[in-house]
A and B are shown apart, each in its own frame.
Chain A
Amino acid sequence: MRPLTETETQTLFTKLANYTGTSLKNLIAPLSDDPNDRYVFRLHQSRCYYVRLSLANLATSISRDKLLSLGTCLGKFTKSGKFRLHITALPILAEHARYKVWVKANGEMPFLYGGHIVKAHVGRWSEDCPEHQGVIVYSMNDTPLGFGVTARSTQEARRLDPTGITCFRQADCGEYLRDEDTLFATS
């Protein structure tokens, strides 16, 4: 377990900034209850964790191969140095989301089973959203379901037919069940 290097931090932040706005800096803000403690990013077996510093320090007492996970797993660094967000990062992304898509009740299950979002299933969406922009997907009662990338800008999507794809799925909560074996195990 180690802190991130400069390039790793940059790739991580660029990835997060796809989905979040400027409020992302609140992620590394000092905590109000304990001025000495703060949240840090830690790399463990190519996975990046967002964790309290006190907890990370405690975790050093566990041997590397025995330590499975700590804090919130944001995703993992690929061998080529890119960063891949996991569904486990959803609570953090949802908190600082820049663009949002709300899915109607009839579109929730298709999305949670791994389908893209068609226009007929979209209940609401953020205005002025450009093409190929990261968005967080919510149900109509504001429960975050996953995240994806817009296929069309908001204006273009208005002219789309009901079966046309408006948002490409990248991760959804169904992965907790579908990828149960690989989501937390490293091998």
Chain B
Amino acid sequence: MAPSRTSTVKSKHAANKSGIRNSKNSGKPQGDGVSKSKKPKSKGPPPKPQKSAGNLATLKKKRRVYTEKELGIPALNMITPVGVEKPKGKKKGKVFVDDRESMLTILAMVNADKDGQIESKMMKARQMEEIREARKVEAEKRQEVRKAKLDETKEGMRKKRKRPTGADEEKDTTRNEAAAGTKPLKLKKRKSVSFA
């Protein structure tokens, strides 16, 4: 396994240098009996022209590309700092906006942006308002339920109190005393007693 790998790798590089290695390992990668027979006769030449021809063609093409690239290379090979490099054919300094059309386009963009922002704000506010309303309604419902429960318990307590009758009579007597206007009588008596 290992030698076959090395042979394949080496054969690429060594193909131009020497035909000897190729002749050794040529059996495995190429696998042609004919090529074997040919190689000993003319050691290197037959594989060389085949591969070198292809390489030469690519090299020639590459060289042509380089020559074209050379047009962009500056005459003096100097290093230019990043900030200093100036774009060709562009105005130096600030670009002013003074014509109505470009101003209108900027204004339209800005207005569209602002409208969108306001719209989203309004949507958000409405949603929040809806949520608040829903919460309010829920809270009211809960309070009503609580009140209803409280009322029920109150009524239950009242009914329980009404059952014992003796206590009511006592209460009635005290009430009568308090409400029957006994106070003026008592006051008069007291006065009379004091003067007497």
Taking Cβ atoms with an 8 Å cutoff, the residues of A that contact B are 2-6, 9-10, 13-14, 17-18, 22, 24-25, 28, 30, 38, 40, 128, 130-133, 153, 155-156
Contact = CB atoms under 8 A, between A and B. Distances in A.
Nearest to A25: B107
A59 to B, nearest CB: 15
B125 interface: yes
Interface of B: 94-98, 100, 102-104, 106-111, 113-115, 118, 121-122, 125, 129
A68 B88 CA distance: 38
B110 A13 contact: yes
B110 to A, nearest CB: 4
A6 B94 CA distance: 9
Contact of A22 (B94, B98, B111): B111
Contact of B111 (A4, A6, A17, A38): A17
Contacts of A22: 111, 115
B100 A3 contact: no
A2 B96 contact: yes
B97 A14 contact: no
Given A9-B103, A28-B104, A130-B125, A14 B96 contact: no
A14 B103 contact: no
Contacts of A132: 121
A54 B118 CA distance: 37
B181 to A, nearest CB: 50
A5 B113 CA distance: 20
